[in-house]
Structure formats: structure tokens, C-alpha cells
Amino acid sequence: MFEIYVRETFDAAHFLPNHKGKCARMHGHTWRIELTMQAEKLNNGMVHDFLDIKAELKRVLPDHSLLNDIIENPTAENLAKYFYEQLKERIPSMTKVIVYESDNSGAAYFES
């Protein structure tokens, strides 16, 4: 099995409704998203062309947006699932999405 990764960043604000901590107030992050793709066989020596994956990813990234306008409760977990659902048809070899809101905190979504 082969596995590849593509990472990209985007800047966006959010707030967490019904949250009791400081994240209930609007604030921003430089988010990082990582896609994982897998294949048993290579196509022309590749799982998937990195440039094609990056182009599809940039189509769905809400750079300089308020994420609450897209998702009601934009936690890292909900964002990972949202991006997975947006990209799965476009990138069938994708198996997992990880969304990081900082260098040390993030959440993954994948289908078991």
C-alpha cells in the first residue's frame, strides 16, 4: 500500500457557540489541513499528482472567512468532517483529513 500527504494552510476566524471558554468569542487561526491518500497500485509512478490534489483543496478552502458562515459549530472535528465530505468525490483515493488549529492541536476525520 502506498500513502501520500498534502498539506495546505488558510486563515479564517471562528467562534464556538455554547462554549464556556474563551473560544466562545470570535478569534482567528492560521489553520493547517492535511489530506492522506492511499493506493495499492501506482498510476504512472504516483498515487495521485500533488498539483491536482492541491488545486482541488484550494477550491474548498475558505481563506479569510468566518467559518461560522459555513458550519454552525466550526470545531476542528467538524471542519475535518466537512472538508472530507467536500473532497471525497473529487479525490477518491483520499482516506483521511486532519485539521490543525495550531501546531499542537488538531482533529482527524476518516471513514472506518
pTM of the predicted model, to two decimals? 0.94
What pLDDT does residue 28 have? 96
- CA–CA distance, 33 with 95 (Å, rounded to integer): 14
Q: Judge: domain 2-109, CATH 3.30.479.10.
A: yes
Query: How is the chain split into domains, by residue range?
Result: 2-109
Q: Kindly state the DSSP code that residue 47 receives in the 8-state scheme.
A: S
- Kindly list the strands in the beta sheet with 105-109, ordered across the sheet, starting from the edge strand earlier in the chain: 65-66, 2-14, 27-39, 94-102, 105-109
The dihedral over CA atoms of 95, 75, 12, 25, expressed in degrees to the nearest 10, equals -170
Positions marked active-site:
23, 64, 101
* Residue-wise pLDDT tens digits, 73-98: 999 999 999 999 999 999 999 999 99
What pLDDT does residue 112 have? 83
* Residue-wise pLDDT tens digits, 19-78: 999 999 999 999 999 999 999 999 999 999 999 999 999 999 999 999 999 999 999 999
